[in-house]
């Protein structure tokens, strides 16, 4: 199993550009989520999904869109990039958010810089 | 928010010493988890403790949970240089509520 994969690893955008961060998992996990990690702020939840076709907002959803058309994929879209979105983005998945055992598996991250 | 808060923010110890990190949270939880993050990498799950458990061990790791004080501690015994990393606690309230992470403790183990 590849686990959780994220592409790209690095990205530089100009203000106002749009892009999609890709996340895929091959573990048939129901629950997937996106976090951003900024220095001194820990991980903050952007959006999450408890299954295909279901998404919900986390703590910092503004400026980001998600969709979950398949169990495997959970892309994160930046509609109009802003310098405040410069961060490291992590995708994670788990068997089920409601399961007793819900260890999160993390991808390697995407380091995004918005100029 | 039920975000956990780790304490201390940073910890530096000598190899072979024990390292203790604490996590406090605000609301009732279903589970509490600890994760490790090596520099520039994704987080790796270490241990999960349920709200009805008080202590759990995994190798050199010992986790305690005190729900009356809304706090947890992670003890790493006989630390090694390879334990140098950031450690995060994460809590959830069960059901479909998402996992919420604290800001982490940066541990440096000096050889």
Which of A5, A54, A103 to mutate to test binding with chain B, by most B CBs within 10 Å of its CB?
A103
B35 with B28: CB under 8 angstroms? no
**Does the structure show a pLDDT above 50 at B2?**
no
The C-alpha R_g of chain A, in whole angstroms, comes to 13
Q: How many residues in chain A?
A: 115
A102 with A2: CB under 8 angstroms? no
Query: Looking at chain B, which residue has its C-alpha nearest residue A91?
Result: B42
> Interface of chain B against chain A, CB under 8 Å?
1, 3, 31, 33, 35, 40-45, 48, 50, 88, 90, 92, 94-104
Q: pLDDT digit of tens for each residue in chain A (115 aa)?
A: 889 999 999 999 999 999 999 999 999 999 999 999 998 778 999 999 989 999 999 999 999 999 999 999 999 999 999 999 999 999 999 987 555 557 899 999 999 999 9
Which of A97, A99, A110, A111 to mutate to test binding with chain B, by most B CBs within 10 Å of its CB?
A97
B30 with B93: CB under 8 angstroms? yes
Nearest-by-Cβ selection for A42 from B95, B96, B101: B101
What's the confidence (pLDDT) of residue A98?
57
What's the confidence (pLDDT) of residue A19?
96
What's the confidence (pLDDT) of residue A5?
97
What's the confidence (pLDDT) of residue B3?
67
The pLDDT tens digits of the residues spanning B54-79 come to 999 999 999 999 999 999 999 999 99
Strand B10-14 with B105-110, pairing: parallel
More confidently predicted of B108 and B103: B108
Can you tell me the distance from the alpha carbon of A108 to that of A7, in angstroms, rounded to the nearest whole number?
A: 9
A39 with A81: CB under 8 angstroms? no
Residues 6+ apart with CB under 8 A from A85: A36, A63, A78, A112, A114
The pLDDT tens digits of the residues spanning B26-50 come to 888 888 999 999 988 999 999 999 9
Share of chain B above pLDDT 70, in %: 95
**Does the structure show a pLDDT above 50 at B106?**
yes
CA angle centred on B50, ends B49 and B55, rounded to 5°? 50
- Dump the DSSP string for B18-58: -EEEEEE-SS--SEEEEEEE-TTS-EEEEEEEETT-SEEEE
Find, among A49, A104, A38, the residue nearest to A75 by Cα. Answer: A49
Where does the pLDDT of residue B7 fall: very low under 50, low under 70, confident under 90, or very high at 90 and above?
Answer: confident
More confidently predicted of B94 and B49: B49
Which residues 29-58 of A are in CB contact (within 8 Å) with B?
33, 35, 40-45, 48, 50, 56, 58
Distinct helix (H) and strand (E) counts, chain B: 0, 11
**Does the structure show a pLDDT above 70 at B19?**
yes
CA angle centred on B29, ends B25 and B34, rounded to 5°? 65
């Amino acid at each position: 199993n590849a686990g959780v994969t994220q592409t790209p690893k690095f990205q530089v955008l100009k203000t106002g550009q749009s892009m999609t961060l890709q996340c895929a998992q091959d573990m048939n996990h129901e629950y997937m989520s996106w976090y951003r990690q900024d220095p001194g702020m820990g991980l903050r939840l952007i959006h999450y999904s408890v299954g295909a076709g279901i998404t919900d907002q986390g703590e910092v959803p503004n400026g980001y869109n998600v969709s979950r058309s398949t169990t495997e994929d959970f892309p994160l879209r930046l509609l109009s990039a802003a310098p405040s979105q410069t961060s490291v983005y992590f995708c994670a998945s788990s068997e089920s958010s409601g399961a007793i055992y819900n260890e999160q598996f993390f991808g390697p991250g995407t380091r995004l810089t918005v100029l | 928010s039920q975000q956990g808060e780790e304490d201390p923010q940073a910890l530096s110890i000598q190899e072979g010493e024990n390292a203790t990190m604490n996590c406090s949270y605000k609301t009732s939880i279903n589970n509490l988890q600890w994760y490790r993050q090596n520099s520039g990498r994704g987080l790796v799950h270490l241990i999960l403790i349920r709200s009805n458990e008080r202590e759990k061990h995994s190798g050199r790791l010992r986790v305690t949970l005190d729900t009356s004080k809304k706090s947890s501690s992670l003890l790493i015994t006989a630390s090694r240089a390879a334990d140098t990393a950031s450690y995060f606690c994460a809590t959830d309230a069960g059901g479909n509520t998402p996992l919420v992470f604290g800001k982490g403790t940066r541990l440096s183990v000096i050889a």
